[in-house]
Structure 1
Amino acid sequence: MELRGANVLLTGASGGIGRALAEAFAARGAEVVLSGRRTEVLEPLAERIGGRVVAADLAERDAPEELLAEAGPVDVLVANAALPASGLLSGYALDEVDRALDVNLRAPIVMAKLAGARMADRGRGHARATVRAVERDVAEIDVAPLGLRLGALVGGAAPALVAAVQRRAGGGRITRDLAAGQRGRR
């Protein structure tokens, strides 16, 4: 897909990956709509890349539809917004579970459904994970570090073995520390 002149809606644009994607899409001539909760972070980025900002908190039930309406015609949707969802389930309050599900699961599905239908109606669109995937028509790009990808591959093939290794290597402590570090971002 030719990105020059394409309208790209990028959620979660205030984070590190979002900023990098915004810059990469803009460098390829795309018109980028930046979305997130922190407009004070998004405005300087939008000014730098010639994009525009649409504030949205995707934990709010109507936010995905409202965001798409404000963004205008979308050719590429990058649903990058996410909340940390690590740690033990017992460490989550019910409202944190709902918020994580709304932002990490419901919002991307709703936006993909609605934007995809509108793209198809216009004979446009093409909504994969990164600039490389869009330009090269790659179905999926896994951006996790190699070690995590290998761990997931081995974990899928031998889950009992991996669980035993994780327990012996202090995986419980690591999981608790990771969850504690991300608890305030839920």
Structure 2
Amino acid sequence: MQFSGKSVIITGAGKGIGKACAQLLSARGAEVIAISRTRSDLDSLKDEIGCRTIRVDLADPTAARAAMAEAGTCDFLVNSAGINVLESVLEMTEAGYEAVLGINLRAALITSQEFARRRIAAGEGGAIVNVTSIAGHRGFEDHLCYAASKAGLEGASRVLAKELGPHGIRVNCVAPTITLTELAAEAWSDPQKSGPMMVRHPINRFAVAEEVAGSVAMLLSDDSTMISGAVLPVDGGFLAV
């Protein structure tokens, strides 16, 4: 799975899964356009892999469209930007809902739309991979809005695959289990919470970001040219048992 001569836009590239995707795809020859809201993260990534960087808060729809215009026409898009606000059903706030759905779902739809418009105008195909979560398949405490955003993105990805397929654009999702990133550490740092979750994984551990990035690379590659509209669990068997 080599990507020499290809270009990829990666949202949320400053940390976690997005950063791991940027590192892996760059190492395999791709030109990376890294999008993040934190300048220091982008500067560090640029020093490491020599990527182009765009700083933007994707919660702002106008700014998100402007960032995609700056990124230009690229071969691939990876939507990895995501946040979580830990609120129970009874404690959910409008602010928490707007923050989580704005980044995890609306921003991904905007970036996908802008990516597709440019690829279609260029008369070329491409591929999109959206990073979702097993939280879109199972109910986890305090993950109400997060689960809604990830399940919504999977549903939207099927529509994207349906409508963009005739233009040669494939759209798939990866649905990781708990992945040891900064975001996950906040949600799963309590052993009383993480312990029961750990034993539900047949391989008896959580994922690391590099493992998710490898699955993203596979779905972008020419090894997956007949895969579209799929959700690939990267979960060590969690959803299978």
Partner AA of 1:99 in structure 2? A
SS at match of 2:13: coil
> Who is 1:96 aligned against?
96
- Work out whether residues 6 and 75 of structure 1, in 8 Å CA contact, stay in contact via their aligned partners in 2: yes
Give the corresponding residue for 1:108.
108
RMSD value, Cα: 1.9
**Matched letter for residue 235 of structure 2:** A
The residue aligned with 1:162 is: none
Indicate the percent of aligned positions where both proteins have the same amino acid. Answer: 29
Deviations 1:45-67 (A, max 9, x none): 12211101101111112122011
Higher fraction of strand: 2
State the one-letter code of the partner of 1:144.
Answer: D
Distance in 1 between the 2:49 and 2:109 partners? 27
| Residue identity opposite 2:218 in structure 1 | R
Deviation at 1:27, TM superposition (A): 1.1
Query: What secondary structure, in the 3-state scheme, does the structure 2 residue paired with 1:33 have?
Result: strand
Where does structure 2 lack aligned partners over 5 or more consecutive residues? 131-215
2:219 counterpart residue number: 133
Aligned residues: 150
Shift in Å at residue 86 of structure 1? 4.5
Aligned residue identity for 2:240: L
Distance in 2 separating the partners of 1:32 and 1:72: 12
**SS of match in other structure, 2:42:** helix
> Is 1:51 aligned to 2:137, yes or no?
no
Following TM superposition, the consecutive aligned residue runs of length 4 or more in structure 1 with deviations greater than 3 angstroms are: none
Normalised to the residue count of structure 1, the TM-score between the two structures is: 0.73
Separation in structure 1 between the aligned mates of residue 85 and residue 126 of structure 2, nearest angstrom: 30
Partner AA of 2:84 in structure 1 = P
1:141 match: secondary structure: strand
**Under a length normalisation based on structure 2, what TM-score does the superposition of the two structures give?**
0.57
